[in-house]
Amino acid sequence: MKKGILAIGASGTVCLEVIKKLSEKGINVRVGSKNPEKAKAMGLKNVDIFPFDYSKQETFEQIFEGIEKWFLVSPSPAYKLHETVFKVIDEAKKKGVKQVVNVSMMGINKADHPFWLIEDYIASKGFDFSVLRPNCYMQHFNDFLRGCFKEECMIKVPAGNSKVSFVDMRDVAEVAVQLITGESQKNKTYSLTGDKAYNLQEVAQIFSEVLGREIKYLSISNEEYEEILVDLGFSDPAIQEAFLLCDQVKNGLNSIVTSDIFNLLGREPTTIKQFAADYAELWG
């Protein structure tokens, strides 16, 4: 009987958090990685690293052997890989995968959006599926804004004054692990948010309180933001993904607050204040 769990997603995303949580529970998990040696260097227990690359179809055929449950973080729309993902999904079905937990994205409201197309394709194949649509991750402050925090004590991003119900990536990972390992209802889509929506001026005030120094917010142009991200070493697809998120925020698509995390985990979502305290050392 197939019992294996497979995780596919970039190592810096919620996928890594899911792998860590499964590992901590003593649950064996197979990890698909474009760079297996780098993944092995993380030293995670109960983890088997397999080569996986969306540009190499031969890796699709090997990775699903003996797998029953698949955790998939859809690749960024900036990479335009959804048709390739369809082929991976077909291979999963062919190899007998039963359940898929797919991390998509909040705010997708067009039937031609790559994430929506992936969601729909998974549903059409007869898997037991769960779709997680998280709001903007709090951890983006660690990635896209780290330099501004340290050097200028500022949040600089082209997001206007719209509100966002930021969600902690660790909460999303906990939800995913529960869906993978438990008996939660299948064939559902969950919108995962924080407990409250904030504009970035309000977020700056919270960070100021936690860090003990004044943090300000400045809404900047896309061109200015691109310069910041290039200086931080982000690739062009990652920069385009950041722009997509900012556009969604400015259009008011990320302001809703749901109770899905509370309903699934039986506790309130992690607050911005708690997140800031947990990661304070990163911002010096």
140-164+195-255+270-283: what fold? UDP-galactose 4-epimerase; domain 1 (3.90.25)
Q: How many CA atoms lie within 13 A of 76 on its CB side?
A: 16
**For every one of its 284 residues, what pLDDT tens digit does the chain have, with 9 covering 90 and above?**
357 999 998 666 899 999 999 999 999 999 999 888 888 878 888 999 999 999 999 999 889 999 999 999 999 887 888 999 999 999 999 999 999 999 999 988 677 889 999 999 999 999 999 999 999 999 988 876 666 666 778 899 999 999 999 999 999 999 999 999 987 678 999 999 999 999 999 999 999 999 999 999 999 999 999 998 898 888 898 898 889 889 989 988 999 999 999 999 999 999 999 999 999 988 76
**Could you say which architecture CATH assigns to the domain 4-134?**
3-Layer(aba) Sandwich (3.40)
Tokens of 270: 């992690």
Q: Which residues contact 235 (CB under 8 A, 6 or more apart)?
A: none
Tokens of 144: 């896209």
Q: Which residues contact 167 (CB under 8 A, 6 or more apart)?
A: 134, 135, 136, 137, 138, 192, 193, 194, 261, 269
Give the residue extent of every domain in the chain: 4-134, 140-164+195-255+270-283
Q: Which residues contact 232 (CB under 8 A, 6 or more apart)?
A: 144, 146, 147
Report CA Rg, the chain.
19
